Amino acid sequence: MAGAARRGGSAVYRSRDPIRNLRLRVRIQRVAPAGPLLPWVPPLAGPERPGRADRAADAGAGPLRVTAAPRAGAQRPPEDEAEEVEVGWQEKLFSQFEVDLYLNESACQTPLDWQYHEEIRKLEKAGGRKNCRIFTYTDHDRFTNLEELCQKVTDLDHEVPSYLVERMANVRRRRQDRRPVEASSLKSKIITWEPSEEFKKNNHVINTPVQTMYIMGDLGPYGKLGHREYENVLCTIKVDGNGVITVKPDFNGTKGAYRIELDGEKREVWEYTIENASAQVQPEEEEREQRVFRELYGRHRDYLSGLVGSDFEMPLPGTLRLLVNGEIVSAQGYEYDNLYVHFFLELPNQWSSSPFQQLSGVTQTCATKAVGWDNVAYFCYPFSVDMFYTQEDEDSLPQWPVLYFEVLSLDFWQRYRVEGYGSLVLPTCPGVHTLTIPTWRPVGLGPVAEMRRFFIGGSPELEDLTYIRIPSTFKGKRLSRFGFRTETTGSVTFRLCCLQQSRAFLENSALRQRMQSVLDRLGGFSQQSSVYNVLEAFQRARRRMQEARESLPQDLINTSASAVPQSLEP
C-alpha cells in the first residue's frame, strides 16, 4: 500500500557511550493477506505520519494502537498478529525453533549450546518466554545473512558476486584477531615481506572488528511457529570498535512501517517498525560532561602557555615593525657560469633597524645547470631583516625600503664580470611573495669594452648602486638617464615572506584589515600615541597620590577607616 517505507537503506550512527546502553523497540504486526476479497485493515501507524489524512478519513480512525488491531471477519486470535519487544544490545531472545532444539540435550554440543539449554530450562520454569515471534541472533550465534551475500546491485540476469564480495563476507571480523598497534611493534614489523593468503584476505578488505546482532521475526502461520523457512531478518545492527553503529534498515522515525511480503500460497503481509528506545542523556549529566571538558581544555591551555611563556614581544607604540624572511632563490638566463649575488637593503628616512642587523649579504658562488632553455643557478640563500618605521609626520607617505642587488660571475681564471643590476621594493602587503626581477648591465660604446670583458674580465660597473633606482645624490625634479646604455641580461627570483606588527593593528579585527592598505591602518598612530600619553600621565598622577598617601600621618588614615561601619564584627 502507499505510504509504507522501503527497506534496504542502512544508516550510520556514532556514539561514544558504552554500547550496552543501546535499546531498540521492535513492533511487528500482520496485515491482511494480499487477497482480493478480504476486508481492508488500516496499516500500522508509526509515531508521526504526515500525509495519511486521506486514508485515515476513509477508515474513520486515527492512528492505531499497535497491540489492539481487531479485524472484522478474522478467524485468528488477535494476540498473534502483533507483538512489541524491547531489546538490549546482544540480548538473546530465543525463537520457537531454538527452544525446541536446545531443550533436547542430545542436540547440545558446544558450551554455547549448553548455556542456551540452561537458559531455556530456566525460562520454561519461569513460565515461558516473553517474546513469541520476535527473536534475536547475537554475535555468538552462527548465523549468516545469506540475503546480504547474494544481494544484487545491477539488473544483470546472471550477476555473480565478485571475489571482493566473497572476501568481505568471509573475513573474520572478530575482536581476537585485532593486533594492538603500538609504536614499538610498528618499528620492527612495518613491512610484511611475504604475506600469506590469510594475511591478504584480512588486509585487503576492511577488517575492523565488528559485533553484529540480528533481530529476526518468525513469520510462520499461527500455531506453526518454529520453522526455519519463515524466519526473516527484521533488522541488522553492526557496531565496530570506533563507536560506529550501522542499523539496517534505519529507525522508522517519520517514515511508514516496513513491509515484508511472504511467498507462499497465503502471501501474507507483515509490517514492522524499529525505534531507538535507549535512555537519553540527562541535560545535567551533559552539562557536567561539558564542564569537565572545558576544565581539561583550560588546564591544557595553561600548560602550553607555561611551556612557552604568556607574553609576546611587541614593538614600541607608534612604530611599525616589518619583518622580512626572504630568500634569493635562483638566477637564470645569464651569459656566464658560476654566479653569485651581492645585495644590500636601503632604509629610507624614518626607518631604522637594530645595530646588529645585517643589511647586506653575499651568496655562494653557484654553478648553473640547464633547465629547459635557460641556465639556472640555485642559490637558496635565506636572509631575515627586521626594520622599524616611525611615523613622525602624518601627512607624508612612508617610503618603503628597497633591496638593491647585483649579479656577478666568477670564472676559473678568477676573472669576475658584472652580469646584471636590479632592484626590488619590498612588498607593502604582508604575505608570501615570489618575485622575478629582470636585470640589466651597462655596456660601453664600441666593441672594445665587450672584447675586454670577454678576454680579461671586468666591465663597466656602477659606482653607486642606488643609481639603479634614484641616485641618493639626486635632488632635482626630473631624472634623466639619457646617454646611459645598457643591455638586458637574465633575472633573479626572490621569495619574500613579509610580516608586519604594530600596536595600531590591535584596534581592528584582522580579517577586515586584510583589504585595507597599510597606510590607512597606520593612521591611528598619532591617536595611539596621544592615548598612550594620557595613560602615562594618569599613571604618574596615581603614583604621586599613592606616595602622598603613604607620607600622611597614620592617625589621620585610621580615623577615616574607623568611620566605616563595623556592624559585621561580633
Partner 1 sequence: MAELHLIGQIESGCGFSERRLFCKWGLHAGAGWTLLAGAGAGQTHLDEPQAGEAAQWGHPLDLHLGTRGLQGWPRLLLEVWHVDTWGRRGLAGYGVCAVPSAPGCHRVTVVTWRPRGTRRQRLLGPGGPELRDPLGTATAATERFRLRTESAGTVRLRLGVVARHMARYGVAL
Partner 2 sequence: MTSTANSPLSTARTGSPRRYQHCPHPVTLSPPLSLSPAPGSPSPAHPGSPQGLEEGISQITSKSSVSPTTLVWNFPIDITFKSTNPFGWPQIVLSVYGPDFFGHDVVRGYGAVHVPFVPGRHKRTIAMFVPESTSRLQQLTSWFTGRRPEFTDPRVVARGEGREVTRVRSQGFVTVTFNVMTKDLHKLGYDVGQGPQGLHQA
**194 vs 463 by CB, closer to partner 2:** 194
**303 vs 482 by CB, closer to partner 1:** 303
224 binds partner 2 (CB under 8 A): no
Picked from partner 2, partner 1, none, the partner binding residue 31 (CB below 5 to 8 A depending on kind) is none
Return d(Cα 329, Cα 341) in angstroms, integer.
11
Contacts of 3 (CB under 8 A, 6+ apart): 43, 49, 51, 52, 55, 256
**380 vs 429 by CB, closer to partner 2:** 429
Number of chain positions touching partner 2 (CB under 8 A): 38
Which of helix, strand or coil describes residue 292? helix
Contacts of 45 (CB under 8 A, 6+ apart): 52, 63, 64, 66, 257
Min dist. Cβ of residue 198 to partner 2 (A): 12
Among 329, 387, 403, 492, binds partner 1 (CB under 8 A): 329
Min dist. Cβ of residue 432 to partner 2 (A): 10
192 binds partner 2 (CB under 8 A): yes
Picked from partner 1, partner 2, none, the partner binding residue 140 (CB below 5 to 8 A depending on kind) is none
* C-beta separation of 449 from 443 below 8 A: yes
How many degrees, rounded to 5, is the angle at CA 63 between CA 58 and CA 66? 125
Binding mask 499-518 for partner 1 (x = CB under 8 A): xxxxxxxx--xx--x-----
307 binds partner 1 (CB under 8 A): yes
Binding mask 144-173 for partner 2 (x = CB under 8 A): ------------------xxx---x-----
According to CB under 8 A, which residues from 347 to 366 bind partner 1?
A: 358, 361-366
Among 95, 368, 409, 491, binds partner 1 (CB under 8 A): 368
187 binds partner 2 (CB under 8 A): yes
Q: In the beta sheet, which residues pair with residue 266?
A: none
| CA nearest neighbour of 213 among 116, 86, 87, 90 | 90
Which of helix, strand or coil describes residue 167? helix
| CA nearest neighbour of 341 among 256, 283, 255, 403 | 403
Return d(Cα 141, Cα 214) in angstroms, integer.
10
Return d(Cα 191, Cα 316) in angstroms, integer.
57
Among 57, 160, 183, 308, binds partner 2 (CB under 8 A): 183
Picked from partner 2, partner 1, none, the partner binding residue 427 (CB below 5 to 8 A depending on kind) is none
* Burial track 494-530 (b if 16+ CB lie within 10 A, e otherwise): bbbebebbbbbbeeeeeeeeeeeebeebbebbeebbe
Return d(Cα 496, Cα 403) in angstroms, integer.
11
508 binds partner 2 (CB under 8 A): no
Min dist. Cβ of residue 280 to partner 1 (A): 36
- The secondary structure element, H or E, covering residue 567 is none
* C-beta separation of 95 from 75 below 8 A: no
Sheet of 11-14: strand order equals 11-14, 244-248, 231-240, 210-218, 134-137
According to CB under 8 A, which residues from 425 to 454 bind partner 2?
A: none
Picked from partner 2, partner 1, none, the partner binding residue 481 (CB below 5 to 8 A depending on kind) is none
Binding mask 230-269 for partner 2 (x = CB under 8 A): ------------x-x-------------------------
379 binds partner 1 (CB under 8 A): yes
Return d(Cα 471, Cα 468) in angstroms, integer.
7
Min dist. Cβ of residue 495 to partner 1 (A): 8
186 binds partner 2 (CB under 8 A): yes
Interface positions with partner 2 (CB under 8 A): 12, 14, 16, 162-164, 168, 181, 183, 186-187, 189-196, 199-200, 203-206, 208, 242, 244, 292-294, 296-297, 300-301, 303, 510-511
